Structure 1
Amino acid sequence: MKMKIYQDDSRMMAGMTMKDAARPEENHMGLHSCKRTEDVLENRRALADKLGAPLDTFVFGRQTHSANFRRVSKEDAGSGADGARDAFPNTDALYTTEPGIVLCTLTADCVPVLFWNERDGVIGVIHSGWQGTVKEITPKLFDRLAEEGFDPRNFRVQIGAALSQEKFEVDRDVFDRFQALGYADDFIRFNEETGKWHIDNQKTVERQLIRAGVPAERISADRTCTFESPDGFSYREDKKAGRHLSFIQMKN
């Protein structure tokens, strides 16, 4: 199974599955958009085996490009793992302070954000498509974490593979929403030939993290473009594209 491992030590495991021609449906991980449910479940079980974590410890949200997040407990383990209807409704970010739970997010161009604070024992995942970014799901979640006593200076963050600025071409309506943020102008480029704007969603999310108090040197970004890479699923390229699964687990 193809995957990127972003973090693996005695306490944390974080990574992202990639397209793999040797797997059913090329390693598609999304139950809501697959051809056969059993293919995705087979892929998820294979990932669970690789991680040494039972599938019933995985947790998913039913992603709707919202700014909604949820704190997860051990009682929530298995939510959405073998059926999309069981995922947390209208939820695009998850966090927990409990070990043994595998928090998951699904993307195909959107920005996956994986974060962990080893000192205080908290981890999380965020699904930040362009709508989640302009709704500021990432800073809103980090504001909540700060309210709960977790200092943003103690977090490490991995931004996963996503659509590049070159391929994220938008019309004025989307441009206006990014510009309205007041801090994304450095990541917007206008193409006079096409009359379109190109926006770097990853860099905008990174700016949000820094503004939330996460030190820049504690943020890493995988600049693999999900459109251009042969290992990427891209909804912009193919509306029937599969989904990557980004995961993080605080080990027992």
Structure 2
Amino acid sequence: MNSKTYIETASTVAGITLKHAAFPESYNMALHSCHDEMAIIHNRKQLANALQMDLSQFVCAEQTHSENFHRVTIDDIGRGTTTMSNAIANTDGLYTFEKNIVLCSFSADCVPVFIYDETRGMVGAIHSGWQGTVKEITKKMLDHLIKNEQLNPQNIHVQIGMALSQQRFEVNCDVYEKFAALGYADDFMYFNVATSKYHIDNQLTVKQQCVLAGVREENIAIDRTCTFNSDEGFSYRQDRRAGRHLSFIYQQ
């Protein structure tokens, strides 16, 4: 398994797969962005074996840069694992209270967000590209967990995974205005006079959404590895045909 472990406690495991030329399609994990679907399924099975799980215990969504999230139950296991046709539709956030279900999200520059509360036995995975960030998917899912699932925000932990750095996240005025409209992202943006482009820190914007939802700042960790600059990163901005990382989280 070629991956980075973010969380490994007695009850919670989370991490992200990494790009590596020695594996089929450089260890691409995405059925929606690949040359050979069987190679992707092979890679996913290899990951499952390394986690001492079965691929049928994984759950994947059809990510659409939405603000939608879904509570995963036993009935959802296996969805989206070998075909996109039965993936959880139009969804970018997953959470569950079940054990031994691997929640997955896919990214290539977008921000993967891992959420867990070991006091309640809950784990969650969010895909927050810039569109998901301006739609506030992370804050909305946290608000839901706190209000509707009665989680105590003091007990929630968040890991923000590797993503496109502010240096590389270069945008025009239209995207800048969407972030500015949030009202709390100004400190995470700057204007490059030489290029007439704005640079935005998507990771820190997501972190601020967690803080606004009530998560303690000391309970939030960030991997500042840039997916564009790293040899282990898949970057859509670098290559529009790029593969995808798979971010995984589960309870054991």
- TM-score (ref. length: structure 2): 0.99
Query: Counterparts of 1:85 and 1:193 in 2: how far apart (Å)?
Result: 46
Query: Counterparts of 2:84 and 2:152 in 1: how far apart (Å)?
Result: 33
Matched with 2:134 is: 134
Structure 1 unaligned segments of length 5 or more: list them.
none
Deviations 1:148-199 (A, max 9, x none): 2011110111100000000000000000000000000000010001100000
Query: Counterparts of 2:196 and 2:143 in 1: how far apart (Å)?
Result: 36
How many residue pairs get matched?
Answer: 251
Matched with 1:158 is: 159
Deviations 1:40-82 (A, max 9, x none): 0010000000101100010011000000000000111001011
Query: Counterparts of 1:92 and 1:127 in 2: how far apart (Å)?
Result: 5
Deviation at 1:84, TM superposition (A): 1.2
Structure 1 residue ranges, 4+ long, deviating more than 2 angstroms after superposition: none
Secondary structure of the corresponding residue to residue 167 of structure 1: coil
Matched with 1:190 is: 191
Give the alignment's Cα RMSD to 1 decimal: 0.6
Map 1:12-161 → 2, pairs under 5 A: 12-147=12-147, 148-161=149-162
Which amino acid in structure 2 is aligned with residue 239 of structure 1?
R
Query: Counterparts of 1:153 and 1:204 in 2: how far apart (Å)?
Result: 20
Matched with 2:171 is: 170
Query: Counterparts of 1:7 and 1:172 in 2: how far apart (Å)?
Result: 37
Structure 2 unaligned segments of length 5 or more: list them.
none
Secondary structure of the corresponding residue to residue 210 of structure 1: helix
Deviations 1:89-110 (A, max 9, x none): 1000000001010000000000
Query: Counterparts of 2:8 and 2:246 in 1: how far apart (Å)?
Result: 17
Query: Counterparts of 2:173 and 2:189 in 1: how far apart (Å)?
Result: 12
Which amino acid in structure 2 is aligned with residue 166 of structure 1?
Q
Matched with 1:223 is: 224
Secondary structure of the corresponding residue to residue 29 of structure 2: coil
Judge which range, 80-89 or 164-173, deviates more.
Answer: 80-89
Matched with 1:212 is: 213
Query: Counterparts of 1:120 and 1:74 in 2: how far apart (Å)?
Result: 18
Query: Counterparts of 1:8 and 1:244 in 2: how far apart (Å)?
Result: 19
Secondary structure of the corresponding residue to residue 112 of structure 2: strand
Query: Counterparts of 1:95 and 1:115 in 2: how far apart (Å)?
Result: 8
Deviation at 1:9, TM superposition (A): 2.1
